[in-house]
Chain A
């Protein structure tokens, strides 16, 4: 532990080396967070089965402090979007994300969550969850193997390491407005697209 946390350039007397660590606030803050990222327990599609395998004995992501899967978004830190996001599911997914407390991360697992994957052309498929949520790590594969998921989660830990308490969004003064929840109309409507939609309609009428 001391090797990982200690700030270089501070000489600690030999007799105190086992009990004292001199470090920065960022480092210890991130060190605590990286080993206790609790994923949200929910699966969308095929990838969820591989996610369960990753939690089980052969792969076991408890080794990285991630074994506490929380069924409630209020208690989780990482949302692993494991599978195809359909238009019918998209509003609920955004709502779940909005319910998660900061700091929160999104891991897009598999081809479908990343881009729509093999089902991209489908009429009920959202071509990539990044249309709605800010994704931190993309994991390719259909489905990604448990090893790939573990690697993706380790990348997320690296990302946490590099964040600083000074500029993270959850300590900024502005309140987080959340992401507007998409609406199921004649097709999926993203509220942020409304002005653009009106414009396209008006242009269409003129021509």
Chain B
């Protein structure tokens, strides 16, 4: 921990020395990184990528400092060989925030910049597809701006002063002019308004389908829409695919059908209230979402909230059990998409149920665990659970994963459908900010548990699973390997589980939070799950941003699918492993 902090402290100074004309040091207390002048941003980004090796831009987001006339775009970059963070910011006026787009240098910024435009209204000059991403085109306003109020607005910060005035129950609907969760801008006139927007997505692919001539033979290009209600899009995800025969010429992902305003609600909540909301981000892996969030908040809080040993070990055990659940389900659903129907999923869900029993025993809920707290975990393992985990880790799971491996890995259909399909080279994977199993299947041995260790992961002996072909089959294999490694970690953790407390402090509803910012990240089952928090010293986060691995992994979807057959799209999407709760937040 201390090494990590010093690394984060020393780096910005050297960056300031290196680029004295382009950047200036961050001077606010509790803030890190450097501030780049907007006009030098592109040159700076290119230089840190090529000269300093910060080739891995993981997170791009914005912060609105209303009522000060200032907005910031915050970038978090890492080296793909491992190590600490390089954070840089651009400060912009609130009235017209325009910043050059970094998509040309880091293609992985494409969706994140669109998200910042959608939610905060920051314009990225030179972005090739500058459109809204989570809300629809035509939606009024940019919701994450601090002066934008949602229809059911009560107060800026929770807990609300009084929800039941004078003891009487009042529906929030009554406070709204339309008695519903809707509001319209003043200039909106229902009498003269007509739905003339059409579908923006089809418009952009129209040009492609206009060309039809090929060696004298007329072949029609086809635009096919998959989703949002489609059995193999894993939820409400939509893809607009342009086809030449069966070959994919272009693909545009459309998302936002499950945009539940996680960040807006998170900025109204207190820090503690956000933990159950993080459960619902990636709803298969609630434990590791909790982990990422509490790590970020503990970074802000400082040493007093360092969790005791026992809590650290319990956290690791739960996070690794979550990883096993997630990879089992991914493999099950991938096979489902490949045409094995529901049988592999049944095998996967069988093991999942046993692990969910443990989650239910420790937290009281099967899926939405809400188990981690700042400075520990909410309660100790109940009687018998330790034995249950030991039995799973030593007896059942190793046997079951061998069985799954035996049934599937050498299966001819799995191999022919997977090998050489949806290839992502290591360079492309890094450029598109792909994380987790997608990155490691492309031959980049980047695992945050090793590259930038957190919690007590540096004490365990495990291998980083890497495969080198970058295709669907390797992404499947990486997951099987990772289940084995997770079992190894759980075995070591349960054997070394120390006695003692599970909370560093007394439980409290409110935290005394110092001003500042923090970026906490964990290697979630789907990859780097980051939480970016800005605190203004009050009970609620000023800015609460989730760097969602599923969302950013989708940036590479087009790259993987173009040139493949339409049936392979489903396999590629299954191998990326997305959860819509996390994609859309």
What residues of chain A have their CB less than 8 Å away from a CB belonging to chain B? 41-46, 48-50, 52-53, 55-58, 71, 73, 83-84, 86-89, 92, 96, 116, 118-127, 131, 142-143, 145, 183-190, 193-194, 196-198, 200-201
Are B229 and A92 in contact (CB-based, < 8 A)?
Answer: yes
- Which B residues are in CB contact (< 8 Å) with A118? 265, 276-277, 280
A residues less than 8 Å from B180 (CB atoms): 127, 131, 190, 193
* Contact, CB under 8 Å: A123 / B367: no
Query: Do B257 and A88 have beta carbons less than 8 Å apart?
Result: yes
Q: Are B152 and A121 in contact (CB under 8 A)?
A: yes
> Is the CB–CB distance between B353 and A71 below 8 Å?
no
> Which chain B residues lie closer than 8 Å to A189 at the CB level?
182, 190
Instruction: Evaluate contact between A71 and B367: CB separation under 8 angstroms.
Output: no
Are B183 and A84 closer than 8 Å at their CB atoms?
no
Which of B27-35, B344-352, B396-404, B496-504 faces chain A? B344-352
A185 adjacent to B143 (CB under 8 Å): no
Does the CB pair A48–B140 fall under 8 Å? Answer: no
Query: A185 CA to B187 CA in the complex, in Å?
Result: 12
Q: How far is the CB of B139 from chain A (nearest CB, A)?
A: 7
Determine the chain A residues whose CB is within 8 A of the CB of B258 once the complex forms.
44-45, 83-84, 86, 89
Give every chain A residue within 8 A of B580 (Cβ-Cβ): 45
| CA of A143 to CA of B279, assembled, Å | 11
Kindly report which residue of chain A lies nearest to residue B261, judged by CB atoms. A122
Residue of B138, B230, B349, B366 near A184 (CB, 8 A) is B138
Interface size bracket, B side: 35 or more
A142 to chain B: which residues have CB within 8 Å? 368
Q: Which of A52, A86, A123, A193 has the most CB of B within 10 A?
A: A123
Please give 16 more A-B residue pairs, beta carbons under 8 A apart, in addition to A49-B284, A86-B584, A121-B265. A42-B229, A42-B231, A44-B258, A52-B349, A84-B258, A86-B258, A88-B135, A92-B229, A96-B229, A118-B277, A121-B150, A123-B261, A123-B264, A142-B368, A186-B138, A197-B184
- Pick 21 A–B contacts, CB within 8 A, sort by A: A46-B367, A56-B346, A56-B349, A86-B258, A86-B584, A88-B257, A89-B257, A89-B258, A92-B228, A96-B229, A121-B152, A121-B153, A122-B260, A123-B181, A124-B135, A124-B260, A124-B261, A127-B152, A142-B368, A188-B182, A193-B178
Indicate if B420 sits at the interface (CB-CB under 8 A). no
* Cα separation A46 to B190 with both chains bound (whole Å): 35
Bound: A149/B283 CA distance, A: 18
B345 lies within 8 A of A119 (CB): no
User: Which one of A87, A125, A131, A186 lies within 8 Å of B188 (CB-CB)?
Assistant: A186
B260 to A125, Cβ gap below 8 A?
yes
What's the nearest-Cβ distance from chain A to residue B348, in Å? 9
Complexed CA–CA distance, A83 and B197 (Å): 28
Q: For residue B177, which residues in chain A have a CB less than 8 angstroms away from its CB? A: 200
Residues of chain A within 8 A (CB-CB) of B197 are 184
Bound complex: CA of A118 vs CA of B260, how far in Å? 10
Q: Which residue of B lies closest to A146 (CB)?
A: B366
Q: Is the Cβ of A143 less than 8 Å from the Cβ of B229?
A: no
Task: Tell me the complex Cα distance, A203–B352, Å.
Answer: 57
| B256 and A88 form a contact (CB under 8 A) | yes
Closest to A93 in B: B229
- In the complex, how many angstroms separate the beta carbon of B476 from the nearest chain A beta carbon? 20
B366 contacts across to A, CB distance below 8 A:
50, 145
Q: Is B236 an interface residue (CB 8 A)?
A: yes
Which residues of chain B are within 8 angstroms of A120 by Cβ–Cβ distance?
152, 172, 181
Known contacts A52-B349, A88-B259; A143 and B368 CB within 8 A of each other: yes
A49 near B283: Cβ-Cβ < 8 Å:
yes
Among A46, A53, A73, A127, the residue within 8 A (CB) of B349 is A53
Query: B581 and A71: CB pair below 8 A?
Result: no
Shortest distance between the CB of A39 and any CB in chain B (Å): 13
